[in-house]
Structure 1
Amino acid sequence: MAGALFEQEQICLAVMVINTNVGSVKVANMMRSSVSAMNDSLARLSSGSRIVHAADDAAGVAVATKFTSQTNRINAVRNTLANTLSFVQTADGFLQKANKALHRMGELATMAMDKTKSAGDLDNYNIEFQDLKKFMRDMQDRQMNGKDLFKGDNISVTNDAHGQSFSYTTAKLDGTTYSKMVDGDIYEPPPFTWQTTKETWKVSKNGYMLRQDANKITEKYYTISSDTTIFYLKQEAWYKEGVGWSTTNNGGTKYNAGSFIKEYDVAGHPDITHNPATQLGNAYAVSYGANVFISKHNPATTGNGNIEATEVITHNKDTFSNMDLNAVDAAIRPASDFYARGSFLAADPGAGISTTALSAGGMVAVNPITSGEDTAATNYAAGAYVTSDPTDVDVDPDAEETSQSHVLTNSGAKTAIKRVQRALEQLTSDRASLGTVMGRVHRTHDQLGVLRENLSQAVSRITDTNMAKESTKFARHQILVNSSTDMLKHANIVPQHALRLILGL
């Protein structure tokens, strides 16, 4: 019974009516949907964007907007990095020119130290030298876009889209290292002053400066003139021809402790042909060559040795020797005062001692007051300013002339070379720092380029239209619209059948 009623209801729904064309309504709705879908495809195909309206993909719009903003900031940062690179490269270009100028200044200073050059030659060298100094000073105020290149400024560089940055410091061409090299124009020899790096003394009288270590022997002493090796007997010993030396009586000649012996046939002595130091050991005898033998005892009269008086050289006290007294046995070593290289001597130490004549006002590195050689000498502490040249290799070679740079004198040229070397070292460091900045800028620029590319790809995947896929959709929707249009025409014919039925009555 229920099944029959359902079938009857279905039949009633499918009956022919005039007022409501249900089929036409259905077709129209389908046609409207197809037209809307086709219009959406047209918009995507014509704009190239998958998201024409925010409603198309709200989450996608939010993500794409964020990525696009980040991409725009990255582009701005890359522009900033490009500007920074230009700034640094400009500075480095100037420093390359400064490097050439400093090299030339070093050449001029070196040539000015040539003793064969005349005063006129030095003047010519100095003119070019001073012009190069002006060139270096002009460079101190160079700018790019109103920004100082060489004032030691701290420059901050943005290196990502979130505002992070790194900083570097520009070269400071007016800093101490450079300014000592390039300040001032000197065309005449300036007042000479030097700053010492160690304690020194200015002597008040003429004298000599030692060029080697030496000893002032303070008592009468003796040396040997011959090339013979001399032996000093520390204990008594006996020598027998054909047998040699013995520490006990071997029937030979006895030599007392403290005697001086040589291997030779001397009248009144046996013909000594054996080395006592070798036979008896160093506890009994010590050997000396003539060039290292020195004694406070006369070897010809001390003990009962075989040294002849004609071989002995007698020296008065307070004379100098360059022999190494520490190599001499303490029992025969004469009393002495040690004078280090660079010491001042009021009197000529004599032949065999290397010295240089020194005028009053000259500088020495060893205290002449305590030695008694010049009690009126003036002492200068390290860092003091002096008016006498202390740059001698045995005084204070690192002392620096404090006048502004020039090459008019040997001292000035020597100081100029030191200053050029320091300036070049600083320049090398400054250029290395700039090179580091350039490398970092390049790497950061490339890194941001990769990030921008990946962000652009991400945005494209979210927002860009897949043309092949969307074209397929458009074709489908277009076919459906055409089909719906045709079907709507047929659906509108259905009420006409009801009319024919009525007319047929």
Structure 2
Amino acid sequence: MRIQHNIAALNSYRNLSGNNNAVSKNLEKLSSGYRINRAGDDAAGLAISEKMRAQITGLKTAQKNANDGISLVQTAEGALTEVHSMLNRMVELADQSANGTYDNKVDRANLQKELDSLKSEIDRISEGTNFNGINLLDGSLSGTGAGGGLTGAQVVTYKAATGNADAATATADTTGNNVNWANTDKVVVDGTEIEVDWSVLDADDRALLAKDWTSVDAADTKKAAEVIQRTINDAIEKYNTQYGASVSSITVKGNGSGTFDITSGQKDGNSNVTIKDSNNTGFLGVLTGIDGTGNDFSTAGPVSALKNAAGDYNGSFTMTIDGEEIAITTAGVATPANIASSLQTAINNALANYDTAKGTTGTDEALNGKVTVKLNANGQLEFNNTTGKKIGFEDKDGGNIASTLGISTEGKNSMNGGLTLQIGDTAADFNQLTVSVGDMSSSSLGIGGISIATQSGAKAAVDKIKSAINSVSSTRGDLGAIQNRLEHTINNLGVTTENMTAAESRIRDVDMADEMMSYTKNNILVQASQAMLAQANQLPQGVLQLLQ
């Protein structure tokens, strides 16, 4: 018999400690609902569970993204609903004007006014429809551009300059003796030569135009401007119909006694109007005093201006090449003329440094020179990428140079236009969906220059308007298909999330019934081990019997 070491008590105490630990873990699992509360509970299970949790979180976020995408698509498609309605009204107006019962100067002029108003509203919808500040119908999401191009936002605006036809040199008089009404004028509109036939004018219009323009009052000048504009635009419409062209309509404005401003409707730097009348016998030739050179009158090109202060376009931002970031810095932007060249220089420098770092300089794999940039007619920076890599631009560290330049690709497909939606839990291409919407302005739809002020023009306008309706229908069809796809995507993401949650639950969650069984067992064992420890502690008391 020993009293220094009570082995039975030690054994009972060891089992009691183990049972207490087991009961503690049982209580932790029962109170938390998790089988795995720390890595020690199941290290492999914890690692698998955490990866599943990340995937589930990504899937749930992708569902939200897809729902936001549906809202964006519905916003664009809803706006096009009204465009369709206006185009249908324009068909009605064109069909009316094509009827021979209408008078050019009164009835068709009023029909043309409503048509012009509808075109203006289509343009307003095209420019103003946006979702969270992202323009949807202005062409910035069109995905156009050869070789994987990117078209940025508008950074340069064009304001049409006017050409003044000065009446001081005019020799026309009330008898019209100096004008040969059977002679045509040649008007070069944005580089295209248009023949204007003045013989179509009636006696009242001829009498109005044949006045002495050195002394005609402002009211008659305004009326004459309307006649000139209508006659030239009818000629432009006839030319467009005959040759399938898209020459812009011109605007003629009477400014005081016998003075007219003529402007082209084209936006870009090539916009101008030139009057050619080498015989000096057509009305415009007489009015502008052309002396036989054929180029005495020409409007200036439109005035261009940066949308922001020049300094806002200069600075540093990031260029991404297949996700790899390199620094790029623009400098020297001062006018619209050098905004593209400055950015081109910055891109070339960045690509040259990239080639040097990769050791590809002078090889076929070199990227320098394979990304070019130009300023297009709408004042947007337009890129051409032939590198075979995805290239984009992003602002960093709170900067906004790329955004000001209109080339930030955040939210857009790099060098491919469009808007990229993240509809999966990984960055893989198949988990992304690009939404592309073309330019829905009247000019892009092919109806910017239509005129129903004449019967022939109205007939030609019908087919163009119907073609525009087909274009809008096609776009709405694409948007509808995307919406349906997103709805299927959301359903699939929901099912996947449910299944992944069930799998994660089987790994991480506790089976309450089974754990209660274990807790009951361990609780009984704790009580039993406590009793046995008490009994073991009594064993050394037997030594006292030997002392009697």
Deviation per residue, 1:398-422 (Å, 9 max, x gap): xxxxxx2232221121122111111
Quote the offset at 1:497 in angstroms: 2.2
Contact 1:177–1:422 under 8 Å retained in 2 = no
- Give the alignment of 1:75-154 within 5 angstroms: 75-119=60-104, 120-141=106-127, 142-150=129-137, 151=139, 152=142, 153-154=417-418
Q: CA deviation at 1:91?
A: 0.3
1:199 aligned residue: none
TM-score by length of 2: 0.47
Q: Give a deviation string over 1:187-232, Cα, whole Å, max 9, x none.
A: xxxxxxxxxxxxxxxxxxxxxxxxxxxxxxxxxxxxxxxxxxxxxx
Question: How many Å apart are 1:30 and its aligned residue?
Answer: 1.0
Q: Which residue of 2 aligns with 1:502?
A: 546
Q: Which amino acid aligns with 1:172?
A: D
Amino acid across the alignment from 1:40: K
**Residue 415 of structure 1: aligned partner:** 460
Matched, 1:170 2:437: yes
1:482 paired residue number: 527
Find 1:32's aligned residue among 7, 17, 21.
Answer: 17
* Residues 55 and 48 of structure 1: CA distance in aligned 2, closer, same or farther (over 3 Å): same
1:445 aligns with 2:432: no
Paired AA for residue 112 in structure 2:
N
Measure, in 2, the Cα distance between the counterparts of 1:416 and 1:498.
Answer: 122
Q: 1:58 to 1:175 in 2, by over 3 A?
A: farther
Distance 1:138 1:177 in 2: 13
2-side partners of 1:450 and 1:40: how far apart?
Answer: 34
Deviation of 1:115 after TM superposition, in Å, equals 2.3
State the partner residue of 1:261.
none
Q: Secondary structure at the match of 1:87?
A: helix
Structure 2 Cα separation of the partners of residues 106 and 485 of structure 1: 96
Q: How does 1:154-193 map to 2 (within 5 A)?
A: 154-163=418-427, 164=429, 165-174=432-441, 177-178=444-445, 180-181=446-447, 183=448
Displacement, 1:22? 1.8
Superposed CA offset, 1:401-447 (max 9, x none): xxx22322211211221111110011111111111111221112221
Residue identity opposite 1:145 in structure 2: N
Structure 2 Cα separation of the partners of residues 424 and 169 of structure 1:
18
Aligned to 1:328: none
Match of 2:220 in 1: none
CA distance in 2 between counterparts of 1:49 and 1:168 reads: 42
SS in 2 for 1:167: strand
- Aligned ranges for residues 330-409 of structure 1 at < 5 Å? 404-409=449-454
Superposition deviation, residue 134 in structure 1 = 0.9
What amino acid sits opposite 2:56 in the alignment? T
Aligned 8 A contact 1:64 1:462 in 2: yes
Query: 1:323 matched to which residue of 2?
Result: none
Report how far residue 502 of structure 1 moved: 3.1
Counterpart Cα distance in 1 of 2:99 and 2:437 = 38
Q: CA–CA distance in 2 between the matches of 1:52 and 1:143? A: 47
Aligned to 2:477: 432
Give the 3 Å change call, closer, same or farther, for CA 175–72 of structure 1 in structure 2: farther
**Mean alpha-carbon deviation: is it higher for 38-47 or for 125-134?**
125-134
CA deviation map 1:290-341 (0-9, x unaligned): xxxxxxxxxxxxxxxxxxxxxxxxxxxxxxxxxxxxxxxxxxxxxxxxxxxx
* Alpha-carbon distance in 1 for matches of 2:29, 2:462: 75
Which residue matches 2:393? none
Supply the distance in 2 between the matched residues of 1:419 and 1:462 (Cα, whole angstroms).
Answer: 64
Q: Which sections of structure 2, spanning at least 5 residues, go unmatched?
A: 143-416
**Amino acid across the alignment from 1:418:** D
**Higher helix proportion, which one?**
2
- Cα distance in 2 for partners of 1:451, 1:85 equals 20
**Cα distance between partner residues in 2 of 1:415 and 1:464:** 72
Indicate the SS of the match to 1:493: helix
Partner of 2:280: none
- C-alpha displacement of 1:94: 0.4
Trace 1:230-269 onto structure 2 (pairs within 5 A): none
Query: Contact between 1:177 and 1:419, CA under 8 Å: does it hold in 2?
Result: no
Amino acid at match of 1:130: D
CA displacement at 1:477 relative to structure 2: 0.9
Identity level (%): 30
How far the C-alpha of 1:160 sits from its partner, in A, is 2.2
Shift in alpha-carbon separation, 1:175–1:416, aligned structure 2, 3 A: closer
Deviations 1:264-286 (A, max 9, x none): xxxxxxxxxxxxxxxxxxxxxxx
Give the Å deviation of 1:468.
Answer: 0.8
**Residue of structure 2 equivalent to 1:493:** 538
Give the Cα separation in 2 of the matches to 1:483 and 1:175.
90
Between the aligned partners of 1:134 and 1:147, the Cα distance in structure 2 is: 21
Tell me if the contact between 2:122 and 2:441 (Cα under 8 Å) persists in the aligned partners: no
In structure 2, C-alpha distance between the alignment counterparts of 1:53 and 1:409, rounded to whole Å: 83
| Counterpart residue type for residue 483 of structure 2 | M
Q: Distance in 2 between matches of 1:57 and 1:474?
A: 19
Q: Judge conservation of contact 1:81–1:157 (CA < 8 Å) in 2.
A: yes
Change (3 A) 1:41 1:53: same
Equivalent AA in structure 2 for residue 149 of structure 1? L
The aligned residue for residue 265 of structure 1 is: none
Aligned length: 266
**SS at the partner of 2:110?**
helix
Q: 1:20-39, CA deviations, whole angstroms, 9 ceiling, x for partnerless residues? A: 22221111111111101000
SS of 2:484 mapped into structure 1: helix
The answer for the alignment partner of 1:220 in structure 2 is: none
Q: Contact (CA 8 Å) 1:177, 1:426: kept in 2 or not?
A: no
Distance 2:96 2:69 in 1: 41
Q: What's the secondary structure of 1:173's corresponding residue?
A: coil
- TM-superposed CA distance for 1:149, in Å, is 0.3
1:157 alignment partner, SS class: strand
SS at 1:162 equivalent: coil
- Counterpart-to-counterpart distance in 1, 2:114 and 2:505: 64
Q: Assess, with a 3 A threshold, how the Cα gap between structure 1 residues 420 and 175 changes in structure 2: closer, same or farther.
A: closer
Aligned-pair CA distance for 1:121: 3.1
**Aligned equivalents of 1:492, 1:94: Cα separation in 2:** 88
